[in-house]
Amino acid sequence: MTDTLLFTNIDEPGLNTIDVYEARGGYKQLERALKMKREDLITELSGSGLRGRGGAGFPMGKKASFIPKGDMQKYVVCNADESEPGTFKDRELIQKNPHQLIEGVIIAAFAVDATITYIYIRGEYEQQADILDAAIAEARERGILGENIFGSGFNVQLELARGAGAYICGEETGLLDSLEGKRGNPRLKPPFPANEGLFNGPTLINNVETLSAIPSIIELGAEGYAAIGVKDSAGTKLISVSGNVERPGNYEVALGTSSREIIYGLAGGPVDGRKIKCWFPGGSSTPVLTADDLDVDFDYDSLEAAGSMLGSGAIIVVDETQSVVELAYKLAKFYSHESCGKCTPCREGTRWTFHMVERIKEGTATPMDLDIMAAVQEQITGHCLCVLGDAMAMPIGSLIAKFRDEFESEIEANRNERERKLAAEFAAAEVEIEGISA
């Protein structure tokens, strides 16, 4: 029974419409939650052990409890920016079960007494935004959004806001700036959004998957939900598996399932019986693991103990035929493009790393460059305003640490290749010179 909570009925045609959703028991948990006391609801969310699914893994109930009480305008913002390379779980939830998310948002809003809520979706998700917009309109029409919902006296508004293509707007404070109509530059913390967030009001920000899990928590009760998964990693998690696997896709598993079971059992492992060279456990910004780590359990603590992170729960599998230099190239290119430019270590560090990987590819690098590259990663880590800089430094640092031999032999091979080319060009030029003199 623990297998699917978020994905229950996920492929049923029409689940994105309110009629089918309600017929499957939808919005019942909202009705129940509205009868509870706010404090009890937050106790319930804390007791469930649900941790944030957006990347940082912060306990959801605890974050909700930070929202101050009082008469000021409070906000709930759902982070549907989902731009971490390798991650595509929120997309599936929004596209196929948008009402589950809306129900979660309203329950969260009631818990922290917020009457204005937003879902911020990345601009590229045009089809998903249309589906979600239609679902919000349906909910409004039924009186599930608006005034005095279910006769509880609670009023709530929900608006869908679209981003326009910027990874950094997934960072919660960058998102808030973007939602306020600014460039999406992250803010210095503290103050944290819980105290001073959107329009300076207390703001609860959670990921799509985190909020979508709330109806299940109300249904199962805190203890029922906490019973799924393992210690300090409660519940089920959607795992986006992509890269060199037979069956890429989203899989819902109880936290604590073995990584091998997910990669080989569910996603079918690499094609043609190839071996795994490395894998990212939680999106492209987490340190890579190798084939030796396949028996690590997929939960927050085990992955951390193995030297990586659960992150967004997106596994990218890289098979033995791929080049680590190429991986580093894609990583550095992405993060240097997405750096918002506010802090120097991130803006320049990502760019220099990119240049250094380019040198390796061109054949002008020396093995010493690897030390410089590793040093640059260290200089970025922990020295930036947000963790985008670290998000490049961690995986690239881990690639260099774990695959140094491969980097060195590629540096060597590319140098030789370049020298051969230059020598050939030189020889060709000499023939010409001789031709003139003759």
Partner 1 sequence: MADVQRHVARFTNDSRIPGWDRAADLDKEPAVVPDAATTEVPAELRAAIEDGMRRFPIGDSAFIPALYAVQEHYGWCPPEGIEQAAAVLGRTPAALTAVATFYDMFEMEQLGRKSVYVCTNISCSLCGADELLEALEGELGEDPDVNVRGFECLGACDIAPMASVNGIYVGPIGLSEVPELARQIRQGDDPLPARQLVKRPSADPKVAEK
Ligand X SMILES: Cc1cc2nc3c(=O)[nH]c(=O)nc-3n(C[C@H](O)[C@H](O)[C@H](O)COP(=O)(O)O)c2cc1C
SS3 state at 241 = strand
Segments in 142-171 forming alpha helices (H)? none
What is the rounded CA–CA span in Å between residue 207 and residue 101? 10
387 makes contact with ligand X (CB under 6 A): yes
Specify whether the CB–CB gap between 207 and 54 falls below 8 A: yes
Between 192 and 264, CB nearer to ligand X? 192
For residue 218, what are its two tokens? 């109300």
> Interface residues for partner 1 in 62-91 (CB under 8 A)?
82-88, 90-91
- Total number of residues binding partner 1 (CB under 8 A)? 76
For residue 381, the minimal CB distance to ligand SF4 (Å) is 11
Task: Please identify which residue in 331, 356, 385, 386 interacts with partner 1, judged by CB under 8 A.
Answer: 331
Supply 136's token pair: 């919000």
Number of residues counted as binding ligand X (CB under 6 A): 23
CA distance 133 to 178: 19
Residue whose Cβ sits closest to ligand SF4: 346
Which of these ranges, 54-62, 242-250, 376-384, 424-432, lies near partner 1 under the rule CB under 8 A?
A: 242-250
- C-alpha closest to that of 325 among 292, 362, 352, 290: 362
Instruction: Choose between 342 and 402: whose C-beta lies nearer to ligand SF4.
Output: 342
- 55 part of the interface to ligand X, by CB under 6 A: yes
Query: With binding defined as CB under 6 A, does residue 391 bind ligand X?
Result: yes
Out of 106, 262, 331, 386, the only residue in the binding site for ligand X (CB under 6 A) is: 386
Q: Which does 389 bind (CB under 5 to 8 A by kind): ligand SF4, partner 1, ligand X, none?
A: ligand SF4
Query: In the numeric block, which tokens belong to residue 430?
Result: 């000499």
Radius of gyration, CA atoms only, the chain: 24
Please report, as residue ranges, which positions from 177 to 206 form the binding site for ligand SF4 (by CB under 6 A). Answer: 186
Name residue, tokens 């051969």.
420
Q: Among 212, 232, 235, which Cα is nearest to 224's? A: 235
- Candidate segments 81-89, 107-115, 215-223, 422-430, binder of ligand X by CB under 6 A: 81-89
Residues 99-138 that bind partner 1 (CB under 8 A): 122-127
Instruction: Tell which one of 340, 365, 376, 396 touches ligand SF4 (CB under 6 A).
Output: 340
Using rule CB under 6 A, residue 166 touches ligand SF4 = no
Q: How far is CA 343 from CA 83, 118, 274, 384, 385, in A?
A: 21, 28, 41, 6, 7
